[in-house]
Structure 1
Amino acid sequence: MDLGQLSIRPRLRSRYEAMDLGFVLARQWWRSLFLAWLIPSGVVFLFASLLVGERQWLALLLVWWFKPLWDCAPLYIGSRQLFGESVSVGSAIRAMPGMLRADWFAWLTWRRFSPGRAFVMPVTALEKLTGKRRRQRIGVLDQREGSGSAWLTIACVHIEAILSMGAAFLLMLFLPDSIGVEWYNADGPLWWQVVTNVLGWLAMSMVAPFYTMAGFALYINRRIELEGWDIEIRFRAMAQRISETKREKSTATLRSLVVLSASLITALCLVTLEPVWARTSVLDPSGSLHHIDQVESREMIQSVLAGDAFHQQETQRGWRLKSFDDEESEEPSDSWIVDFIQWLQEWNAHQGQIQQGMAFLLEVLLWVILAVVIAYLLYFYRKHLGSLVAGIASGVAPKRSTPTVLAGMDVRPESLPDDVPASAQSLWQSGDHRAAMGLLYRASLSRLIHAFSVPLVAGHTEQECVDLVAGLPDNTLHDYMRCLTLDWQRLAYGHQVIEPQQFKALCQQWREVFCRD
């Protein structure tokens, strides 16, 4: 990755500026991005349309579901051309299988409905990160741009719907009422299902380059912010200017000498040369030099222009818009549409049984994929589901893991002395007030977890621990924990030491609260 070849100005942008930059890049490279998405999806769409028969909606559903795979080719082109590398559509399509080879199943199952797909896909497709490293990387990148990528997905979904439905409604305006087609009817004519599917597929193909490049721009903007690309490029430019200045200083004397020498030589030549009238010279057939005047040269030029070399005629054929003055043809220009529709109807009449069989096989395949996904999810979460089912069957809640560290303190029973109040008073008398109060507070948390089964976890704060104790029927325990927590916070954060009598009272109350039978 050569930052010197970067085709955009690296600077900090807001999320909306970054998405607008992605749209600009998509307009600049739209042809290659559009073809890279259209060609692989079109092949699958064509074969699926021929196989499903009357259930044409299955073909469009299949293309829509595989969108993460089709987005790889435009992403490959954008990532290369952003750094000045020219990439062809064919090479981008050939690179598709290797971009999501590790996580293709995840992108087609539980990640399929991820609202930030365009923003996080470069982490897998370009950086080749998987598993824990991918989650950590996304956690860093997603701290600011997560909501922006979600709104990008919502906006592009609405644009696709507007384009597809608008094109279908516009086409319906030109159809006669006798045909009786509806916007989308699974039981309608086959040719109308094909037309609506094609419109939906074209709408997805037109929006996909903008969606992919906008998400990629969000990803690049976040990397510029984290890695300081703009600062690095400025340092490189500064170093280049310093080196150029040194070279200029070292060659200044030599350049002056060269200019002075050239000036002296030119002056000597001008003094010694005789004036010569400008004239035109040509070579005779014998090879000798012959001088001609202006009239002879004009006649020679006209004779050359009158030759065959300047009178060649060339016929070019191509398409042009038909004007109103052109003579109308005998056959209407749209007759091919009627022939195509009739061919579809005849083909459907003869191939109906084959289509139904293919549609049934495709439907079975989709159900099998769904079953495999469900089985994989059940296997992946088998431990959690097993504990949940066991708890439901026995009527007891699943066993919760007991924390060993809470609020930065070791709350294991074996880490505490046998006589907590006595050890705390000994520390207090030695002058280590913080350790004495910490031991008393740590022992209280340990007893709450192991003796009173209070559901404390490692992430709970001091106030959350007090709130959980408030749910117990023993109000004395809640009052003691509230007072102890307040005194501990004053000492730990405010460095305010309580009176010795108050600490002695806390130790005495600790015995009454936690050591009673």
Structure 2
Amino acid sequence: MRPEQLALVLRPRSGMEAVDLGIRLVQAHARSIFATSFAVILPPALLIIAVVGYALEMPSLAGTLIWWLKPLYDRALLHGLSHAVFGEQPGVRQTWRALPGLIRHSALLPALLWRRLDPLRSTRLPVDQLEGLKGRVARDRRRIVANRVGGAGFGLMFCCANFEYVLLFGAIALIENLLPERVSILEHIWPAMTGSEVIDPQQAIWVALAFNLGYACMVGLIEPFYVAGGFALYLKRRTDLEAWDVELLFRRLASEGAKRLAMLALLVACGVTLLPAPAAEASEPRREAAIRRAPKAIAEVLKAPEFGKSRKHQQLQFRAEPETKTQDAPGWLKRWLEFWRGAGRWMAEGLRIAGWIGIAIVAAILLRVLLRQLGVIRARRTPPPPPAEVAGLDIRPESLPDDVAEAARQLLASGRHREALGLLYRGALSRLAHQSQIPFARGDTEGDCLMRVTRAGSGARAYFAQLTRSWQGVAYAHTAPTGEDSERLCTGWREAFGGGS
């Protein structure tokens, strides 16, 4: 790498300033970098989603594979960024052509195996890809490059990794707010994320595949900033270690001096040709001329902001006191002091043990509260009694017949579809509220009831979802179910809740 050809201003920077420089680099070359990002990330992601997620029906593994292949994406992005710092903009075709060579010569296999969880992956990547070092030399070089920028590199990784999910869940929330009332995608996303039984497996797998595709798109948006920030930290460390800024300053001064000498030689040659008889003057040795010009060149160098600074360093130290002879204390005083010194040690040890015990108790309490909030453990408390009515329907057990399914079948036979489905729906709510202890509220709608049953993980949620759709169709759209659907609802009620009320 030739620093004089860089299209960046090299100067001493802090770690966060270097990360900001990488972000500015992405902004300056946004079109080519993001085109490369999506061209490299989306085709493998779509292939993984189609084969692993859809064909093998393992969408969770597909999402993990998309995340695990980030080192492959990073190499293509760094290829574009390393050309962008020199003012070039390689297209997507050039990146695809260079990708096989990047895979072979940039230590991709270790990056996908034992170095996959390295938090400073983007900072150490240029050592493997741009410097081409291997073995122990590469390990030492990676350690030196990552030194003193670990905090900035870890902060960059933490922010980028979390911002991917912030954007993804923000997009889900936006879609949820744009959907019509009583239509929700969360009832499919939440069971798919938690791995619990879902209402419709076919719909759930499509939701999971869409979730994976959305995650791949967010990786395509955020990963360029992560790679560019790490590359800027690498350039900062190269500048610190090899003094690129000072080297460029001296090269600029040398170039200006060469131009001045060439102009002086041209003037002398013109004068010699024009003069009729050249005067015989003693030529001054080049060493003395250089010595005379040295103070001026040094003064120009010292005008740079890196020089001419003074810093005071103050440090407090204990002053060694001269040893003075003291008289021996009496025996009783020594024993008294020794007793309290031992008691102090015992008290300090006891307080230390008590402090660790207190910390362990507080940690256990916090862990229990966290697990309770996540739903891993449930608090042992008496649930409130179920309401007598939900959504305007009476769900008291005494208001229902002994055999709800048979009574509903008789109502259906007489053509009273609304009363029959209402009876099945009231019976289902009653069973779920009184036997499964699902906390329905008096003002819950049909959609709220379905959401509560889904989140509670009830075994009857698939049937309850079907019954809810049929009840909403006959209650609001006045659409009566067919005879087969009605018979299936009555049979399913008996299978889900038993024969009695």
| TM-score (norm. length: structure 2) | 0.48
Larger Rg over CA atoms: 1
Using the size of structure 1 for normalisation, the TM-score is 0.47
